Amino acid sequence: MKQFEVPSFYRSPLISKVKAQRKLEDPRKKDFSPSELKLGNITFVIARHFGFCYGVENAIEKSYKAIYENPNKRIFLLSQMIHNPAVNEDLISHGLQFLQDTEGNQLIPFEDLNNEDLVIIPAFGTTIEIEQKLTAIGVDISTYNTTCPFVEKVWNRSEKLGETDHTIIIHGKYKHEETRATFSHSSQSAPSIIIKDIQEAKILGDFILGKIDLHSFDQIFKGKSSLHFDPKKDLSKIGVVNQTTMLASETQEITNYLREVMLMKYGVENIKEHIADTRDTLCYATNDNQTATLALMETDADLAIVVGGYNSSNTSHLVELLEQKFPCYFVQDESELISKEEINSFNIHSKTLQKLPYLPTKSNHRIILTSGASCPDSVVDGVMMKLASFVQSNEEMATILSEMK
Protein backbone atom coordinates (compact mmCIF):
# COMPACT_ATOMS: atom_id res chain seq x y z
CA MET A 1 0.00 0.00 0.00
CA LYS A 2 1.36 3.42 -0.95
CA GLN A 3 2.63 5.64 1.87
CA PHE A 4 1.34 9.20 1.53
CA GLU A 5 3.04 12.43 2.56
CA VAL A 6 0.42 13.74 4.95
CA PRO A 7 1.33 16.65 7.27
CA SER A 8 2.68 15.33 10.57
CA PHE A 9 0.05 17.14 12.68
CA TYR A 10 -2.57 14.76 11.24
CA ARG A 11 -0.69 11.81 12.74
CA SER A 12 -0.97 10.72 16.37
CA PRO A 13 1.31 9.31 19.08
CA LEU A 14 -1.24 6.88 20.54
CA ILE A 15 -3.46 5.70 17.69
CA SER A 16 -0.47 5.23 15.39
CA LYS A 17 1.01 2.74 17.88
CA VAL A 18 -2.25 0.82 18.06
CA LYS A 19 -2.52 0.65 14.27
CA ALA A 20 1.13 -0.30 13.81
CA GLN A 21 0.80 -3.16 16.32
CA ARG A 22 -2.33 -4.51 14.64
CA LYS A 23 -0.69 -4.30 11.23
CA LEU A 24 2.24 -6.30 12.57
CA GLU A 25 -0.03 -8.95 14.10
CA ASP A 26 -2.50 -9.11 11.21
CA PRO A 27 -0.83 -7.94 7.96
CA ARG A 28 -3.52 -9.50 5.74
CA LYS A 29 -6.36 -7.80 7.66
CA LYS A 30 -8.20 -11.03 8.42
CA ASP A 31 -8.99 -10.23 12.06
CA PHE A 32 -11.68 -7.58 12.53
CA SER A 33 -11.83 -7.83 16.33
CA PRO A 34 -11.16 -4.54 18.16
CA SER A 35 -8.01 -3.49 20.00
CA GLU A 36 -8.01 -2.46 23.65
CA LEU A 37 -5.97 0.37 25.13
CA LYS A 38 -6.07 1.05 28.86
CA LEU A 39 -5.45 4.60 30.04
CA GLY A 40 -5.80 4.52 33.81
CA ASN A 41 -9.41 3.81 34.69
CA ILE A 42 -10.65 3.85 31.09
CA THR A 43 -10.36 0.94 28.70
CA PHE A 44 -10.78 2.13 25.12
CA VAL A 45 -12.18 -0.51 22.78
CA ILE A 46 -10.84 0.64 19.42
CA ALA A 47 -12.11 -0.47 16.01
CA ARG A 48 -9.72 -2.58 13.92
CA HIS A 49 -10.15 -0.21 10.95
CA PHE A 50 -10.98 3.50 11.08
CA GLY A 51 -9.66 6.89 10.06
CA PHE A 52 -8.01 8.06 6.85
CA CYS A 53 -8.54 5.78 3.85
CA TYR A 54 -6.50 5.68 0.62
CA GLY A 55 -8.69 8.23 -1.15
CA VAL A 56 -8.55 10.73 1.73
CA GLU A 57 -4.78 10.50 2.18
CA ASN A 58 -4.32 10.89 -1.58
CA ALA A 59 -6.53 14.01 -1.55
CA ILE A 60 -4.69 15.60 1.36
CA GLU A 61 -1.27 14.87 -0.10
CA LYS A 62 -2.18 16.43 -3.47
CA SER A 63 -3.79 19.47 -1.83
CA TYR A 64 -0.70 20.36 0.21
CA LYS A 65 1.49 19.62 -2.81
CA ALA A 66 -0.56 22.19 -4.76
CA ILE A 67 0.02 24.76 -2.00
CA TYR A 68 3.77 24.20 -1.76
CA GLU A 69 4.36 24.03 -5.52
CA ASN A 70 2.33 27.14 -6.41
CA PRO A 71 3.09 29.88 -3.87
CA ASN A 72 2.14 32.70 -6.23
CA LYS A 73 -1.06 31.27 -7.69
CA ARG A 74 -4.67 31.49 -6.60
CA ILE A 75 -5.79 28.01 -5.56
CA PHE A 76 -9.42 27.04 -5.18
CA LEU A 77 -11.15 23.98 -3.80
CA LEU A 78 -14.20 23.09 -5.84
CA SER A 79 -15.94 22.23 -2.56
CA GLN A 80 -14.94 20.69 0.76
CA MET A 81 -11.88 18.52 0.20
CA ILE A 82 -13.31 15.87 2.52
CA HIS A 83 -16.05 16.07 5.11
CA ASN A 84 -13.90 16.97 8.08
CA PRO A 85 -13.78 20.52 9.51
CA ALA A 86 -10.20 20.29 10.84
CA VAL A 87 -8.79 19.35 7.43
CA ASN A 88 -10.81 21.94 5.52
CA GLU A 89 -10.06 24.73 7.99
CA ASP A 90 -6.33 24.04 7.78
CA LEU A 91 -6.43 24.18 3.99
CA ILE A 92 -8.32 27.49 4.16
CA SER A 93 -5.66 28.84 6.55
CA HIS A 94 -3.17 28.34 3.71
CA GLY A 95 -5.18 30.67 1.48
CA LEU A 96 -7.36 28.19 -0.39
CA GLN A 97 -10.94 29.23 -1.17
CA PHE A 98 -14.11 27.19 -1.76
CA LEU A 99 -15.98 27.70 -5.04
CA GLN A 100 -19.11 25.79 -3.90
CA ASP A 101 -20.71 24.45 -0.75
CA THR A 102 -21.32 20.72 -0.27
CA GLU A 103 -24.68 20.85 -2.07
CA GLY A 104 -23.26 22.55 -5.15
CA ASN A 105 -24.42 26.10 -4.37
CA GLN A 106 -22.01 28.66 -5.83
CA LEU A 107 -19.88 30.65 -3.34
CA ILE A 108 -17.52 32.20 -5.90
CA PRO A 109 -18.72 32.50 -9.52
CA PHE A 110 -16.74 30.47 -12.04
CA GLU A 111 -16.61 33.67 -14.10
CA ASP A 112 -14.22 35.13 -11.49
CA LEU A 113 -11.60 32.52 -12.39
CA ASN A 114 -8.90 32.85 -15.01
CA ASN A 115 -6.52 30.49 -16.78
CA GLU A 116 -3.75 31.17 -14.26
CA ASP A 117 -5.79 29.72 -11.39
CA LEU A 118 -5.71 26.19 -10.02
CA VAL A 119 -8.84 24.29 -8.97
CA ILE A 120 -8.56 21.19 -6.82
CA ILE A 121 -11.25 18.59 -7.51
CA PRO A 122 -12.19 16.92 -4.18
CA ALA A 123 -12.01 13.21 -3.35
CA PHE A 124 -15.72 12.88 -4.20
CA GLY A 125 -15.06 13.89 -7.82
CA THR A 126 -17.28 16.28 -9.74
CA THR A 127 -19.79 16.38 -12.56
CA ILE A 128 -18.90 16.39 -16.24
CA GLU A 129 -20.80 19.67 -16.60
CA ILE A 130 -18.57 21.42 -14.03
CA GLU A 131 -15.43 19.94 -15.58
CA GLN A 132 -16.48 21.37 -18.94
CA LYS A 133 -17.15 24.84 -17.49
CA LEU A 134 -13.75 24.98 -15.81
CA THR A 135 -11.92 23.60 -18.84
CA ALA A 136 -13.55 26.23 -21.06
CA ILE A 137 -12.11 28.95 -18.81
CA GLY A 138 -8.69 27.35 -19.16
CA VAL A 139 -8.34 26.49 -15.48
CA ASP A 140 -5.96 23.64 -14.59
CA ILE A 141 -8.16 20.93 -13.04
CA SER A 142 -6.04 17.89 -13.90
CA THR A 143 -2.70 18.40 -12.13
CA TYR A 144 -4.22 18.25 -8.65
CA ASN A 145 -7.41 16.30 -9.28
CA THR A 146 -7.89 14.27 -6.09
CA THR A 147 -10.89 12.16 -7.17
CA CYS A 148 -10.73 8.89 -5.25
CA PRO A 149 -9.80 5.95 -7.51
CA PHE A 150 -12.59 3.90 -5.92
CA VAL A 151 -15.11 6.56 -6.98
CA GLU A 152 -13.65 6.41 -10.49
CA LYS A 153 -14.04 2.63 -10.34
CA VAL A 154 -17.80 3.12 -9.90
CA TRP A 155 -17.85 5.49 -12.89
CA ASN A 156 -15.96 2.97 -15.03
CA ARG A 157 -18.29 0.16 -13.99
CA SER A 158 -21.29 2.33 -14.85
CA GLU A 159 -19.83 2.98 -18.30
CA LYS A 160 -19.39 -0.77 -18.87
CA LEU A 161 -22.98 -1.39 -17.77
CA GLY A 162 -24.14 1.25 -20.23
CA GLU A 163 -22.32 -0.54 -23.03
CA THR A 164 -24.43 -3.63 -22.34
CA ASP A 165 -27.68 -1.59 -22.25
CA HIS A 166 -28.16 -1.72 -18.45
CA THR A 167 -29.88 1.10 -16.58
CA ILE A 168 -27.83 2.34 -13.62
CA ILE A 169 -29.46 2.31 -10.16
CA ILE A 170 -27.31 4.52 -7.88
CA HIS A 171 -27.64 3.88 -4.15
CA GLY A 172 -26.74 7.26 -2.68
CA LYS A 173 -27.82 10.55 -1.16
CA TYR A 174 -29.19 12.74 -3.91
CA LYS A 175 -27.47 15.99 -2.81
CA HIS A 176 -24.11 14.43 -1.89
CA GLU A 177 -21.16 15.57 -4.06
CA GLU A 178 -20.13 12.02 -4.91
CA THR A 179 -23.62 10.92 -5.90
CA ARG A 180 -24.09 14.02 -8.07
CA ALA A 181 -20.76 13.26 -9.76
CA THR A 182 -21.55 9.57 -10.28
CA PHE A 183 -25.00 10.43 -11.64
CA SER A 184 -23.46 12.89 -14.13
CA HIS A 185 -20.95 10.31 -15.37
CA SER A 186 -23.35 7.37 -15.53
CA SER A 187 -25.99 9.44 -17.36
CA GLN A 188 -23.53 9.88 -20.23
CA SER A 189 -23.67 6.18 -21.03
CA ALA A 190 -26.94 4.85 -19.61
CA PRO A 191 -30.34 5.80 -18.20
CA SER A 192 -29.70 6.46 -14.48
CA ILE A 193 -31.75 6.89 -11.33
CA ILE A 194 -30.82 7.60 -7.70
CA ILE A 195 -32.38 5.80 -4.73
CA LYS A 196 -31.47 6.58 -1.14
CA ASP A 197 -32.48 3.38 0.69
CA ILE A 198 -34.24 0.03 0.64
CA GLN A 199 -37.63 1.75 0.94
CA GLU A 200 -37.10 3.55 -2.37
CA ALA A 201 -35.79 0.30 -3.87
CA LYS A 202 -39.11 -1.30 -2.95
CA ILE A 203 -40.96 1.48 -4.76
CA LEU A 204 -38.89 0.64 -7.85
CA GLY A 205 -39.78 -3.01 -7.31
CA ASP A 206 -43.48 -2.21 -7.02
CA PHE A 207 -43.37 -0.34 -10.32
CA ILE A 208 -41.48 -3.13 -12.08
CA LEU A 209 -44.08 -5.63 -10.84
CA GLY A 210 -46.97 -3.36 -11.86
CA LYS A 211 -48.14 -2.61 -8.31
CA ILE A 212 -47.98 1.19 -8.69
CA ASP A 213 -48.61 3.46 -11.65
CA LEU A 214 -46.34 5.89 -13.49
CA HIS A 215 -47.80 8.93 -11.70
CA SER A 216 -46.91 7.50 -8.27
CA PHE A 217 -43.43 6.63 -9.52
CA ASP A 218 -42.83 10.14 -10.88
CA GLN A 219 -43.87 11.75 -7.59
CA ILE A 220 -41.12 9.89 -5.73
CA PHE A 221 -38.31 10.11 -8.29
CA LYS A 222 -38.91 13.49 -9.89
CA GLY A 223 -35.52 15.13 -10.46
CA LYS A 224 -33.64 11.96 -9.49
CA SER A 225 -33.45 10.33 -12.91
CA SER A 226 -31.63 11.13 -16.13
CA LEU A 227 -33.11 13.10 -19.03
CA HIS A 228 -35.78 11.17 -20.95
CA PHE A 229 -35.78 8.37 -18.34
CA ASP A 230 -38.60 5.96 -19.25
CA PRO A 231 -39.29 3.63 -16.30
CA LYS A 232 -41.51 1.36 -18.40
CA LYS A 233 -38.60 0.59 -20.70
CA ASP A 234 -35.50 1.44 -18.65
CA LEU A 235 -36.20 -0.76 -15.61
CA SER A 236 -36.16 -4.03 -17.55
CA LYS A 237 -32.36 -4.42 -17.40
CA ILE A 238 -30.51 -2.93 -14.43
CA GLY A 239 -27.27 -2.78 -12.46
CA VAL A 240 -26.75 -1.32 -8.98
CA VAL A 241 -23.77 0.86 -8.02
CA ASN A 242 -23.32 3.03 -4.96
CA GLN A 243 -22.00 6.19 -3.41
CA THR A 244 -18.93 4.60 -1.85
CA THR A 245 -19.64 5.95 1.63
CA MET A 246 -23.07 4.32 1.98
CA LEU A 247 -23.63 1.24 4.12
CA ALA A 248 -22.24 -1.61 2.04
CA SER A 249 -24.71 -3.98 3.66
CA GLU A 250 -27.62 -1.79 2.54
CA THR A 251 -26.31 -1.63 -1.03
CA GLN A 252 -26.14 -5.42 -1.00
CA GLU A 253 -29.64 -5.62 0.50
CA ILE A 254 -30.96 -3.38 -2.27
CA THR A 255 -29.23 -5.48 -4.94
CA ASN A 256 -30.55 -8.73 -3.46
CA TYR A 257 -34.08 -7.31 -3.28
CA LEU A 258 -34.06 -6.08 -6.88
CA ARG A 259 -32.68 -9.43 -8.00
CA GLU A 260 -35.69 -11.13 -6.37
CA VAL A 261 -37.99 -8.69 -8.15
CA MET A 262 -36.39 -9.57 -11.48
CA LEU A 263 -36.70 -13.27 -10.71
CA MET A 264 -40.43 -12.81 -10.12
CA LYS A 265 -40.82 -10.74 -13.28
CA TYR A 266 -38.63 -12.67 -15.72
CA GLY A 267 -37.87 -16.09 -14.20
CA VAL A 268 -34.64 -17.75 -13.14
CA GLU A 269 -33.71 -18.79 -16.66
CA ASN A 270 -33.58 -15.14 -17.81
CA ILE A 271 -32.20 -13.44 -14.69
CA LYS A 272 -28.71 -12.77 -16.11
CA GLU A 273 -30.29 -10.72 -18.89
CA HIS A 274 -32.05 -8.40 -16.43
CA ILE A 275 -29.69 -7.62 -13.51
CA ALA A 276 -25.90 -7.35 -13.44
CA ASP A 277 -23.56 -8.58 -10.70
CA THR A 278 -22.00 -5.35 -9.36
CA ARG A 279 -20.48 -6.43 -6.04
CA ASP A 280 -17.09 -5.23 -7.29
CA THR A 281 -18.09 -1.55 -6.91
CA LEU A 282 -18.13 -1.59 -3.09
CA CYS A 283 -15.25 0.48 -1.61
CA TYR A 284 -12.80 -1.68 0.35
CA ALA A 285 -12.23 1.01 3.03
CA THR A 286 -15.93 1.60 3.63
CA ASN A 287 -16.45 -2.16 3.80
CA ASP A 288 -13.53 -2.66 6.23
CA ASN A 289 -14.62 0.18 8.52
CA GLN A 290 -18.20 -1.05 8.63
CA THR A 291 -17.14 -4.66 9.23
CA ALA A 292 -14.85 -3.50 12.05
CA THR A 293 -17.78 -1.56 13.52
CA LEU A 294 -19.96 -4.67 13.44
CA ALA A 295 -17.18 -6.45 15.36
CA LEU A 296 -17.35 -3.69 17.99
CA MET A 297 -21.00 -4.57 18.49
CA GLU A 298 -19.99 -8.05 19.63
CA THR A 299 -18.19 -6.67 22.68
CA ASP A 300 -19.42 -5.06 25.90
CA ALA A 301 -18.98 -1.38 26.69
CA ASP A 302 -20.59 1.44 28.64
CA LEU A 303 -20.90 3.69 25.60
CA ALA A 304 -19.55 4.39 22.13
CA ILE A 305 -17.99 7.56 20.76
CA VAL A 306 -17.67 8.17 17.01
CA VAL A 307 -15.40 10.99 15.86
CA GLY A 308 -15.73 12.82 12.56
CA GLY A 309 -17.33 15.62 10.56
CA TYR A 310 -21.05 16.01 11.07
CA ASN A 311 -21.68 16.11 7.30
CA SER A 312 -19.64 12.95 6.72
CA SER A 313 -21.80 10.22 5.22
CA ASN A 314 -19.53 7.29 6.08
CA THR A 315 -19.18 8.51 9.69
CA SER A 316 -22.94 8.85 10.17
CA HIS A 317 -23.34 5.23 9.08
CA LEU A 318 -20.94 4.10 11.84
CA VAL A 319 -23.16 5.94 14.33
CA GLU A 320 -26.21 4.31 12.77
CA LEU A 321 -24.71 0.88 13.45
CA LEU A 322 -23.39 1.46 16.97
CA GLU A 323 -26.48 3.21 18.33
CA GLN A 324 -28.38 -0.04 17.82
CA LYS A 325 -26.60 -1.48 20.87
CA PHE A 326 -24.85 1.28 22.83
CA PRO A 327 -25.47 4.82 24.03
CA CYS A 328 -23.63 6.42 21.09
CA TYR A 329 -22.19 9.93 20.90
CA PHE A 330 -21.03 11.63 17.70
CA VAL A 331 -18.40 14.36 18.14
CA GLN A 332 -16.25 16.24 15.64
CA ASP A 333 -13.35 16.77 18.07
CA GLU A 334 -12.35 17.02 21.74
CA SER A 335 -13.99 20.44 22.13
CA GLU A 336 -17.39 18.70 22.25
CA LEU A 337 -16.40 16.95 25.50
CA ILE A 338 -17.50 19.67 27.91
CA SER A 339 -16.83 17.83 31.16
CA LYS A 340 -17.09 14.43 32.78
CA GLU A 341 -20.81 15.03 33.05
CA GLU A 342 -21.74 16.58 29.69
CA ILE A 343 -20.99 16.06 26.01
CA ASN A 344 -22.14 17.80 22.83
CA SER A 345 -23.30 15.01 20.52
CA PHE A 346 -24.61 15.39 16.98
CA ASN A 347 -27.95 13.66 16.40
CA ILE A 348 -27.86 12.14 12.89
CA HIS A 349 -31.68 11.94 12.77
CA SER A 350 -32.64 15.48 13.80
CA LYS A 351 -29.37 16.99 12.45
CA THR A 352 -28.90 18.92 15.70
CA LEU A 353 -26.16 19.19 18.30
CA GLN A 354 -27.42 18.05 21.71
CA LYS A 355 -25.89 18.55 25.17
CA LEU A 356 -26.20 15.20 26.96
CA PRO A 357 -25.00 13.36 30.08
CA TYR A 358 -22.75 10.47 29.06
CA LEU A 359 -20.11 8.99 31.42
CA PRO A 360 -21.69 6.63 33.97
CA THR A 361 -20.93 7.34 37.64
CA LYS A 362 -18.46 4.57 38.42
CA SER A 363 -14.71 4.23 38.80
CA ASN A 364 -13.88 2.19 35.68
CA HIS A 365 -15.18 2.64 32.15
CA ARG A 366 -15.18 0.75 28.86
CA ILE A 367 -15.58 3.11 25.91
CA ILE A 368 -15.84 2.10 22.26
CA LEU A 369 -13.96 4.48 19.99
CA THR A 370 -13.89 4.80 16.21
CA SER A 371 -13.89 7.49 13.54
CA GLY A 372 -14.86 8.16 9.96
CA ALA A 373 -12.62 7.79 6.92
CA SER A 374 -12.01 11.55 6.74
CA CYS A 375 -11.01 12.03 10.39
CA PRO A 376 -7.31 12.52 11.28
CA ASP A 377 -5.96 10.14 13.92
CA SER A 378 -4.66 13.16 15.82
CA VAL A 379 -8.27 14.26 16.41
CA VAL A 380 -9.14 10.80 17.78
CA ASP A 381 -6.07 11.06 20.02
CA GLY A 382 -7.36 14.37 21.34
CA VAL A 383 -10.75 12.88 22.21
CA MET A 384 -9.12 9.91 23.93
CA MET A 385 -6.76 12.08 25.97
CA LYS A 386 -9.49 14.46 27.10
CA LEU A 387 -11.72 11.58 28.19
CA ALA A 388 -8.82 10.08 30.17
CA SER A 389 -8.07 13.44 31.79
CA PHE A 390 -11.58 13.55 33.24
CA VAL A 391 -10.92 10.49 35.43
CA GLN A 392 -7.14 10.69 35.97
CA SER A 393 -5.03 13.36 37.64
CA ASN A 394 -2.33 15.17 35.65
CA GLU A 395 0.33 13.20 37.51
CA GLU A 396 -1.36 9.89 36.73
CA MET A 397 -1.71 10.81 33.04
CA ALA A 398 1.96 11.78 32.83
CA THR A 399 2.97 8.42 34.30
CA ILE A 400 0.67 6.47 31.96
CA LEU A 401 1.99 8.26 28.87
CA SER A 402 5.63 7.85 29.87
CA GLU A 403 5.09 4.11 30.29
CA MET A 404 3.65 3.90 26.74
CA LYS A 405 6.72 5.41 25.07
User: Which residues touch 362 (CB under 8 Å, ≥6 apart)?
Assistant: none
* Together in a domain, 117 and 160: no
pLDDT tens per residue across span 193-240: 999 999 999 999 999 999 999 999 999 999 999 999 999 999 999 999
* Together in a domain, 26 and 129: no
* Together in a domain, 35 and 158: no
SS3 55: helix
Spatial contact of 363 and 390, defined as CB atoms under 8 Å apart? no
Range of the domain at 195: 149-282
* Together in a domain, 58 and 79: yes
Q: What is the CATH number of the domain that holds 392?
A: 3.40.1010.20
Domain boundary residue, one of 117, 137, 157: 137
pLDDT value at residue 1:
47
* Together in a domain, 83 and 28: no
Helix 85-93 with 54-69: angle, nearest 10 deg? 10
Of residues 57, 131, 178, 200, which has the active-site annotation?
A: 178
Cα separation, 275 vs 271, whole angstroms: 6
Domain boundary residue, one of 247, 282, 317: 282
* Together in a domain, 153 and 270: yes
User: Which residues touch 233 (CB under 8 Å, ≥6 apart)?
Assistant: none
Whether 3 is covered by a domain: the verdict is no
Annotated catalytic residue 178:
yes
* Together in a domain, 173 and 259: yes
What residue ranges in 83-180 does DSSP mark as E strands?
97-98, 118-120, 167-171
User: Which residues touch 281 (CB under 8 Å, ≥6 apart)?
Assistant: 153, 154, 157, 241, 242
pLDDT value at residue 400:
64
Helices (H) and strands (E) in the chain, counts: 14, 13
Residue numbers in the chain where pLDDT is lower than 70: 1-6, 280, 282, 393-398, 400-405
pLDDT tens per residue across span 146-186: 999 999 999 999 999 999 999 999 999 999 999 999 999 99
C-alpha distances out from residue 333 to 60, 134, 280, Å: 19, 35, 34
